């Protein structure tokens, strides 16, 4: 083809590897709500859901309004006024309410009403007035978006071997993606620890995120190269570029084979200090990649997937089946099951719960806080986990622990569940270990007290960094400040390990930090017992552990702890690698 030129986009390398394939484009706001019947007694709730979505849309428009006002002036801002007026339009409200009263779900009601109005605009001859329908459509889409929790049409129509490109992928989207179908992920927003990145790593699929504008540049069917090592995406590559990447793909496959040879070797330093390397998983599908990675356990089994893409709460039986399957396959190695780490907002969005929308869900009613408020949800999960413990080695872990009181309260619930199971003569492991995830700075600070209440702890570095540094890791404006090497984080980790060892319990890290070979020597030197990483990173971390002596690692760690700034930390680490 003449005049073909590589178009290179630079983003964040979210999951390593190279993929060459065709784009499957997922629209940002193309909603196709389905019509559902609402039972009579839920009609008021449905209206509340609508009002909630309208208020959110209003807030969004107001923010846009303020921005336009600031940059272009009042006259332009009045155009944004139109959107706000559409939200309050009596026709809109009356007709949507009418449909809901007939037992139709809010999203479909909005879709239908907007569709009708838009149709009446279509017959207008004047171009200007006809185009006003776009304002109405935009407003409708926004409301539906909030109602659906921004779930898009699912990815069921994915064609084999495609590379998924989207503005953003929600957890529900990524959950819908079948492992074998997708070759790569590419998104406009997100960072190294965004959900897409975590899922892509879990599935060993190359991913580049944070590309800002890529979704507006591609179409389904375009040829694209994803370089998950460098964080680059190449659109319309020339045949030379394709050939180059194919060669690189072969080289990397070779390297991967080398690492695979490490599979059955111990994670042991040359001076005989042993650590454990475990794997993190998001759903049972990943178990095969764990088994082939050489991991000697699952250090973090995230259980959120059970709650996605459904209309009712998962039953105790579903919990049990999803856990026991993994536990059996991992046996005799342990599986650490983390109770669900969702916000009430997420469960409300998928319609499983109905709690007030929060301004700041990361600091809101989530994880064990939610479990304590709605123990019935939690109890079903605990029963499922306990029952699964009869089939292998299960450890239970609580997320988002912020103090000792919370731990005592959840343990009380656990004891109650155990007592009931005993009464029913259900088999479970009575000695099942219980641990806390340390990801809230308050828990890190009082780790000595927490360590007395649990059998193990695991540091969730992603959230610990986010909460300690006050960085929202999906906010593009501050994501560059997200830094695992911030001296405050390093000192926290050291403190957690030291105090836990004093109390005689082991420490794991299950955040992204543990899976980055660059940080491995420091964590090793801190005395970390267990690295829990995505299955793809298991061999690489093992390689690093087997190449550095524990004595040297301890020396590096001591030096690093004295640093007060990132630059000095970097100098020390880079000297190690030189």
Partner 1 sequence: MKEEIIVVSNKMGLHARPAAMLVQTTNKYRSAIKILKDDFEVNAKSIMGVMALAAGCGSALRFIADGPDENEVLAAVKSLFESMVD
- 138 makes contact with partner 1 (CB under 8 A): no
Contact 453, 412 (CB under 8 A): no
Stretch that binds partner 1, among 16-24, 88-96, 202-210, 506-514 (CB under 8 A): 88-96
Which C-beta is closer to partner 1: that of 137 or that of 506? 137
Q: Does 128 bind partner 1 (CB under 8 A)?
A: yes
Q: Whole-number minimum distance, CB 131 to partner 1, in Å? A: 9
- Over the window 375 to 404, marking each residue x when it contacts partner 1 by CB under 8 A and - when it does not, the resulting string is ------------------------------
Options 12, 18, 23, 136; binder of partner 1; rule CB under 8 A: 136
CB of 105 to partner 1, least distance (A): 22
- Spatial separation of the C-alpha atoms in residues 291 and 331, rounded to whole Å: 11
Cα Rg for the chain, rounded, in angstroms?
A: 26
> Measured from the CB atom, is 128 or 577 closer to partner 1?
128
Q: How far is CA 218 from CA 8, 27, 160, 268, in A?
A: 12, 11, 18, 46
Specify the DSSP class assigned to residue 498: H
Among 60, 69, 135, 453, interactor with partner 1 by CB under 8 A: 135
Between CA 387 and CA 393 the distance in angstroms is 11
Where does this chain touch partner 1 (CB under 8 A) — which range of 39-47, 79-87, 179-187, 344-352? 79-87
Region binding partner 1 by CB under 8 A among candidate stretches 82-90, 199-207, 260-268, 333-341:
82-90
Residue of 48, 59, 124, 408 interacting with partner 1 (CB under 8 A): 124
Residues with Cβ within 8 Å of 159's Cβ and at least 6 positions away in sequence, in order, are: 22, 24, 181
* Near partner 1 by CB under 8 A: residue from 27, 44, 81, 415: 81
Q: Considering the rule CB under 8 A, would residue 186 count as an interface residue with partner 1?
A: no
Query: From the CB of 119, what's the least distance to partner 1, in Å?
Result: 11
Annotated catalytic residue: which of 273, 319, 371, 510? 510
Verify binding: residue 313, partner 1, rule CB under 8 A. Answer: no
Edge to edge, what strands does the sheet with 223-227 contain?
7-10, 232-235, 223-227, 18-26, 162-166, 182-187, 207-209, 12-15
First to last CA, the chain: 45
Residue 92 is a binding residue for partner 1 (CB under 8 A): yes
State the nearest-atom distance from the C-beta of 50 to partner 1, in Å.
17
Residue 144 binds to partner 1 (criterion: CB under 8 A):
no
Task: Record the tokens describing residue 358, joined without a space.
Answer: 């929060």
Binding flag, residue 85, partner 1 (CB under 8 A): yes
CA distance 504 to 90: 66
Max intra-chain CA distance, the chain: 83
Q: Which region, judged by CB under 8 A, interacts with partner 1, from 21-29, 87-95, 290-298, 529-537?
A: 87-95
Residue nearer to partner 1 on the CB measure, 112 or 555: 112
CA distance 339 to 397: 6
Q: Which is nearer to partner 1, 76 or 362 (CB)?
A: 76
* Residue 457-496 contact track with partner 1, rule CB under 8 A, x = bound: ----------------------------------------
- Looking at 25, 121, 374, 518, which residue binds partner 1 (CB under 8 A)? 121
DSSP 35: P
Kindly tell me which residue out of 7, 82, 259, 488 binds partner 1, with binding defined by CB under 8 A.
82
- Shortest reach from residue 120's CB to partner 1, in Å: 6
Q: Residues for the chain: how many in total?
A: 578
Q: Does 89 bind partner 1 (CB under 8 A)?
A: yes
Any contact of residue 79 with partner 1 (CB under 8 A)?
yes
In whole angstroms, the minimum distance from the beta carbon of 49 to partner 1 comes to: 22
**Cβ 60 to partner 1 shortest distance, Å:** 18
The DSSP secondary-structure symbol of 306 reads G
How far is residue 527's CA from residue 522's CA, in Å, rounded to a whole number?
9
| Beta-strand relationship, 162-166 and 182-187 | parallel
Residue 150 class from Cβ within 10 Å (0-12 exposed, 13-18 middle, 19+ buried)? middle
Please identify, among the stretches 131-139, 241-249, 253-261, 447-455, the one whose residues bind partner 1 according to the rule CB under 8 A: 131-139
Please check whether residue 205 is in contact with residue 185, taking contact to mean a CB–CB distance below 8 angstroms. yes
Catalytic-residue membership of 195: yes
User: Containing H/E element for 396?
Assistant: strand 393-398
Number of residues forming the site for partner 1 (CB under 8 A): 23
Positive or negative, the CA dihedral 302, 304, 309, 310 is positive
Binding of partner 1 at residue 72 (CB under 8 A)?
no
**What is the rounded CA–CA span in Å between residue 300 and residue 321?**
17
Nearer to partner 1, 132 or 150 (CB): 132
* Strand pairing category for 207-209 and 433-438: unpaired
Give catalytic status of residue 273 as yes or no.
Answer: no
Of 35, 91, 363, 551, the residue at the interface with partner 1 (CB under 8 A) is: 91
Single out the residue of 314, 357, 339 nearest to residue 149, CA to CA: 357
Nearer to partner 1, 126 or 480 (CB): 126
Which residue of the set 195, 273, 319, 486 is catalytic?
195
Closer residue to partner 1 in complex, CB, 94/263: 94
Report if residue 58 touches partner 1, rule: CB under 8 A: no
Q: Could you tell me the smallest distance in angstroms from the CB atom of residue 74 to partner 1?
A: 11
Q: Are 132 and 153 in contact (CB under 8 A)?
A: no
Q: Is 272 in the site for partner 1 (CB under 8 A)?
A: no
- CB burial of residue 118 (10 Å; 0-12, 13-18, 19+): middle
Alpha-helical runs (H) found in 209-351 = 239-260, 287-293, 316-330, 344-349
- Smaller CB distance to partner 1: residue 135 or 453? 135
- The answer to whether residues 564 and 487 touch, using CB atoms and an 8 Å cutoff, is yes
* In contact, 206 and 6? CB cutoff 8 Å: no
Q: Is the peptide bond before 122 cis (omega within 30 degrees of 0)?
A: no
**Enzyme catalytic residues:** 195, 510
Return residues touching partner 1 (CB under 8 A): 75, 78-79, 81-82, 85-86, 89-92, 117, 120-121, 124-126, 128-130, 132, 135-136
């Amino acid at each position: 083809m003449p005049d073909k030129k590589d178009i290179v986009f630079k983003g964040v390398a979210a999951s390593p590897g190279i993929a060459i394939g065709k784009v499957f484009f997922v629209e940002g706001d193309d909603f196709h709500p389905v019509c559902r019947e609402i039972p009579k007694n839920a009609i008021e709730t449905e209206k509340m859901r609508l009002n909630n979505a309208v208020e959110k849309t209003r807030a969004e428009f107001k923010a846009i309004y303020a921005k336009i006002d600031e940059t272009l002036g009042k006259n332009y801002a009045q155009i944004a006024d139109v959107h706000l007026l559409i939200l309050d339009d009596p026709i809109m409200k009356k007709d949507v309410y009418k449909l809901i009263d007939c037992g139709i779900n809010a999203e479909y009601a909005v879709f239908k009403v907007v569709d009708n109005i838009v149709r009446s605009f279509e017959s207008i001859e004047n171009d200007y007035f006809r185009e006003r329908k776009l304002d109405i459509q935009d407003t409708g889409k926004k409301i539906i978006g909030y109602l659906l929790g921004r779930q898009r049409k699912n990815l069921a129509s994915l064609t084999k071997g495609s590379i998924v490109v989207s503005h953003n992928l929600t957890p529900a989207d990524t959950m819908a993606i079948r492992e074998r179908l997708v070759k790569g992920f590419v998104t406009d927003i997100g960072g190294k620890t965004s959900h897409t990145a975590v899922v892509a790593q879990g599935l060993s699929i190359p991913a580049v995120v944070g590309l800002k504008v890529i979704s507006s540049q591609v179409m389904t069917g375009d040829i694209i190269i994803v370089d998950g090592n460098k964080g680059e995406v190449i659109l319309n590559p020339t045949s030379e570029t394709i050939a180059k990447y194919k060669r690189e793909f072969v080289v990397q496959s070779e390297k991967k084979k080398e690492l695979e040879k490490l599979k059955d070797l111990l994670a042991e330093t040359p001076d005989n200090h042993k650590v454990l390397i475990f794997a993190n998983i998001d759903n049972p599908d990943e178990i095969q990649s764990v088994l082939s990675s050489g991991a000697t356990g699952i250090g973090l089994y995230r259980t959120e997937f059970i709650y996605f893409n459904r209309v009712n709460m998962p039953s105790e039986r579903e919990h049990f089946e999803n856990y026991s399957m993994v536990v059996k396959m991992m046996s005799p190695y342990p599986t650490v099951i983390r109770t669900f780490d969702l916000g009430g907002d997420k469960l409300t969005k998928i319609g499983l719960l109905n709690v007030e929308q929060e301004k700041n869900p990361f600091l809101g009613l989530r994880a064990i806080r939610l479990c304590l408020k709605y123990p019935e949800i939690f109890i079903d999960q605990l029963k499922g986990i306990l029952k699964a413990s009869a089939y292998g080695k299960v450890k239970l872990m609580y997320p988002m622990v912020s103090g000792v009181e919370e731990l005592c309260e959840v343990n009380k619930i656990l004891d109650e569940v155990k007592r009931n199971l005993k009464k029913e003569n259900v088999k479970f492991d009575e000695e099942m270990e219980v641990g806390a995830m340390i990801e809230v700075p308050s828990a890190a600070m009082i780790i000595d007290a927490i360590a007395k209440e649990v059998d193990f702890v695991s540091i969730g570095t992603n959230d610990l960094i986010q909460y300690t540094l006050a960085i929202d890791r999906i906010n593009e404006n501050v994501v560059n400040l997200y830094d695992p090497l911030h001296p405050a984080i390093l000192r926290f980790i050291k403190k957690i390990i030291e105090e836990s060892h004093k109390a005689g319990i082991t420490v794991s890290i299950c955040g992204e930090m543990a899976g980055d070979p660059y940080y491995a020597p420091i964590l090793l030197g801190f005395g970390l017992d267990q690295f829990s990483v995505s299955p793809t990173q298991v061999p690489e971390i093992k390689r690093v552990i087997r190449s550095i002596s524990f004595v040297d690692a301890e020396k590096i760690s001591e030096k690093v702890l004295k640093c007060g700034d990132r630059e000095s930390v970097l100098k020390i680490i880079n000297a190690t690698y030189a």
